[in-house]
Structure 1
Amino acid sequence: MFPNFNIYSTPLLILVIQGLILVGLLFKRYVEKKNTSDAILAILLLITCYQQTCYTVGFMGWYDTFRNTKINYFLIPAATSIAPLIYLYVKSITKSNFKFQTQHWWHFAIPITLVIYRLAIYTYDSVQPGFHETQNGVLKIIVDEDIVQRILVVVDFSVMLLYLAFTIQLFVNYRQKIKQYFSNVFKLELNWIRNFLIIFSALFLYSSVQTVVGNLFIDLSYKERWWLNLALAICTIYIGLKGYFTDTTKLNKLDFSFSPKEISIPETSKESKKEISKTAIEAIATLMEREKPFLNPDLNLSELAKQANVTRAQLSEIINSGFQMNFNDFVNSYRINTFKSMLKEGKHKQLSLLGIAYECGFNSKATFNRVFKKLTNFSPTQYLQSLAK
């Protein structure tokens, strides 16, 4: 009898309710602040909650009690809409001033087509004799179940695989790019997006194996498919919570419209190029040593370019070609050298190692430890111990 609260329905019900609350909060914030990423994430959660609701009421006994429910007409393969939404969400928070444009609708051509198709066969079946006494009508059985559903298995897998690859590539490129612009990237690394993509990729692999087993070997029951639905719900709630409570608008006011590898300082000859490069390198090194801009934890490429009286493209070219480093490593190398100098002066007798690191321009313990290990092959504690020998 419906409703039946059990070990299968109750966890899904709790997650669906949490998801719907997040949907409301995200849409509210979108109305107030017009952040495109909030709207995309809200729609992503809404679709996931709809899918999970269909499974939840099934485990609660709805379909056994009301056997003529027409839910099968309105269960569209989730991957065809969730995959592009994940891609666009990651793009919206890793690209400055992202706006949803008309061409982005093409990402949803397949799910929109499927919705129209399902409405069409529902309309036809609904006027056939005996439709209200059964769950599936004529076209749903002989066309959708026997033909289209088999095709959708391949389409579903292909869409998810393609968009996951695009999203991972987009995120990796973003992680590499921010090192060319920011001296402290810890708050911009979006590790929760990385974690989500790893978990979601693992669930996609699990789902693919389950689909192959279910279609080719044994018929898997609702209860055997329950674990995947639970994991997907938890995974989606994770990104929903992180997306709501994390400021994902950090890049909105930044302009990444140039490529350091394509734009360089203009030169007229090889000789002048050598002279300009040498002069530019010395000028930047002098600025770093005298003015110590690296002590500012929020230092970025634009700010340093203004202080050096060069363009961002020119500064990026000088650092990458002249110092053989990206912007992040370049600035942090000065911070590490300053930290080492302070240790030699006995600063650690007054402040903790982390306190000294903050004075040198770092803004997180994780970044400091990682950078120090990368540039010295020692941990900060090991380096301090080596000075005492």
Structure 2
Amino acid sequence: MKDYIFNVHDVVLLMTAAECLLLSIFQQVLPIRARNYGLLLTAFLLIVATASACTLVMWNDQFQVAPLFGQTLLPYLLFGALMLKGPAIYLYVSALTQQNLRLQRHHALHLVPALLLVLYLFIFDLSSDDLRRIAIAGQGFPESAVDLVWDISTAVPLAYALAAVLSLRRYRGELEDEYSHFSTTELHWLNILTYGVLISWGWTLAVHVLAKYSSVETADLLGIADNYVTFILINAFFAYSLSYAHQLLVTRPSSSRESAPGEPSDSAITKVRQAMEVEKLYLKKNLNLEQFSGRIELPAKEVSAVINKHFGTNFFEFINSYRVEEAKALLADAGRADMTVLDVLMESGFNSKSAFHRFFSRLVGMSPTEYRRQALNKKEVASV
């Protein structure tokens, strides 16, 4: 009877490593795009490939390698990769959401946790058997030292995943401060992927904790589930890179985002209000903060201060609230009853049905169709 080297779960790890290598190669032959995130995605793919391959070799007893590599070098590769996958995903998200991000010297600080853990392995001379908690006759392994290695290698990536999620939340806030309209599809999918990583690595930490208080079989099953999730996420990230990543909007560099000092002046408030109520700049589709500030001849940071401090909102909400009021006037006009809802949203400055319905329902408390019906019925009753 044949002895199988790999079971089906090992094959998932093997496929993950192989696919990451192929996707990283494919990523490099894609046409160069304006924003530099391809290199960081490639780095992430190669790191995951290394971690998957090392995990497979370490935990598969049927897969024989040279003792020098299997016992001595393998832990450095595995835990180096586990510690670097967090910085890789965080920097990838940063490159997607920041304008012209370039790797600089201070980014090298993200390597420090990995280097420290590798140094820790070297100082305690921890082998693969030690890390698997396999005791060899005449030799013991420091359990507390082994526990600390696994604790750090699961907690640090999770912290970076959380940082990536927070970075995306900040990015959305910046978009709302700068644009009156933006597509949420690309950002929505990136949110799903980033939260997927956070949940996956949170699951890894939970498995690590549960393994201390459950049977070996249960811990193995939980760990295997994590391998499947990783395989799915890798494919999802690459598909996102091909389909959506290049469509994300850029925001202004942080140096130009400084708030205007003090409270906004009365003249600035008047200019902003006049631009909305008299000139009706909100009717311009895809209006952004720079265009708006240019039309009223005020610095962008001063306009932002007026909207944030005086009106108590952001540019996105500010412009669209005026558009909703314009839409209400059109819907309540009996002379325009033949206009479709699509005509109304376009004429009021919106260019997205989903954004229009979302804002209208939230601000008015009913759908545009229901609002029109009620408004026209009231006018009919009043005229009788």
Bin for the TM-score computed over the shorter chain: 0.7 to 0.9
Q: 2:348 aligns with which of 357, 360, 371?
A: 360
**SS at 1:46's partner residue?**
helix
Q: Which residue of 2 aligns with 1:285?
A: 273
After superposition, give the CA deviation of every residue in 1:83-114 in whole Å (9 maximum; x if it has no partner). Answer: 11222122222222211111111101232455
Q: Secondary structure at the match of 2:241?
A: helix
What is the distance in 1 between the residues matched to 2:254 and 2:212?
47
> 1:52, 1:233 within 8 Å by CA — same for their partners in 2?
no
**Does the alignment pair 1:19 with 2:7?**
no
Amino acid at match of 1:247: A
Q: In structure 1, give the amino acid aligned to 2:96.
A: I
1:75 and 2:63 correspond: no
Residue 133 (structure 1) aligns with: none
Query: Per the alignment, in what secondary structure is the counterpart of residue 180 of structure 1?
Result: helix
Give 1:331 deviation, angstroms: 0.7
Contact 2:165 2:194 in 1 (8 A): yes
Instruction: Provide closer, same or farther for how the CA distance between residues 320 and 75 of structure 1 changes in structure 2, counting only shifts above 3 A.
Output: closer
- Aligned pair 1:349/2:349, yes or no? no
Aligned residue in 2 for 1:103: 106
Contact 1:335 1:361 in 2 (8 A): yes
Where 1:8 maps in the other structure, the secondary structure is helix
Equivalent residue number for residue 240 of structure 1: 238
For residues 200-279 of structure 1, what are the structure 2 equivalents within 5 Å? 200-220=197-217, 222=220, 225-248=223-246, 250-252=248-250, 254-259=252-257, 261-263=259-261, 276-277=265-266, 279=267
Q: 1:348 to 1:256 in 2, by over 3 A?
A: farther
Which residue in 1 is equivalent to 2:90? Answer: 87
Letter in 2 for 1:20: L
Match among 351, 368, 375 for residue 380 of structure 1: 368
1:305 paired residue number? 293
CA contact (8 A) 2:13 2:56 kept: yes
Alpha-carbon distance in structure 2 between the residues aligned to 1:146 and 1:380:
65
Q: Tell me how far apart the structure 2 counterparts of residues 172 and 19 of structure 1 sit (CA, whole Å).
A: 28
Residues 1:285 and 1:34: Cα distance change in structure 2 (over 3 Å)? closer
Q: Secondary structure at the match of 1:87?
A: helix
CA contact (8 A) 1:40 1:89 kept: yes
The structural deviation recorded for 1:247 is: 3.5
1:20/1:365 CA distance change after superposition, 3 Å: farther
2:40 maps to 40
Supply the AA of the counterpart residue of 2:269.
I
Q: Which amino acid is the alignment partner of residue 196 of structure 2?
A: I
Q: Comparing both chains, which one has the higher relative contact order based on Cα–Cα distances under 8 Å and sequence gaps of 6 or more?
A: 1
Cα displacement (A) at 1:234: 1.1
Amino acid at match of 1:210: V
Write the distance in 2 (CA, Å) between the matches of 1:76 and 1:378.
Answer: 54
Question: Who is 1:316 aligned against?
Answer: 304
Cα distance in 2 between the residues matched to 1:263 and 1:233: 49
Matched, 1:371 2:368: no
**Structure 2 CA distance for partners of 1:3 and 1:308, relative to 1, 3 Å:** farther
CA change 1:222–1:33 in 2 (3 A) is same
Distance 1:311 1:13, change over 3 A: same
The one-letter code matched in structure 1 to 2:276 is M
Match of 2:151 in 1: 154
Structure 1: distance between partners of 2:55 and 2:322: 56
* Alpha carbons of structure 1 residues 106 and 50: separation in structure 2 relative to 1, 3 Å: same
Query: Secondary structure at the residue paired with 2:245?
Result: coil
Relative to 1, partners in 2 of residues 1:86 and 1:150: Cα closer, same or farther, differing over 3 Å? same
Q: Is the 8 A contact 1:36 1:100 kept in 2?
A: no
Please tell me the residue identity of whatever aligns with 2:188: N
- Length-normalised TM-score, structure 2: 0.79
Question: 1:107-161 deviations in whole A, cap 9, x for unaligned?
Answer: 0123245557779999x99xxxxxxxxxx999xx866x85643221221233134
**Match for 1:284: what amino acid?**
V
Unaligned runs of 5+ in 1: 126-135, 266-272
Query: Is the CA contact 1:183–1:332 (under 8 Å) kept in the aligned structure 2?
Result: yes
SS in structure 1 at match of 2:79: coil
Superimposed CA distance per residue, residues 283-314 of structure 1 (whole angstroms, 9 cap, x where no aligned partner): 22222344433233221000100000110011
State the secondary structure of the residue aligned to 2:216.
coil
Q: 1:365 to 1:5 in 2, by over 3 A?
A: farther
Q: Give the SS at the match of 1:297.
A: coil
* Aligned equivalent of 1:190: 187
Structure 1 residues 43 and 361, CA gap change in structure 2 (3 angstroms): same
Is residue 263–residue 313 contact of structure 1 (8 Å, CA) maintained in 2? no
Letter aligned with residue 25 of structure 1: F
1:2-26: per-residue Cα shift (whole Å, max 9, x none)? 8767643455555545433432232
Report the more deviating stretch, 216-225 or 337-346.
216-225
Gaps spanning 5+ residues in structure 2: where?
128-133, 378-384
Conserved in 1, the CA contact under 8 Å of 2:24 and 2:42? yes
Q: Answer with 151-160 or 1-10: which moved more.
A: 1-10
Aligned-CA RMSD value: 3.5
Contact 1:347/1:356, CA 8 A, preserved across alignment:
no
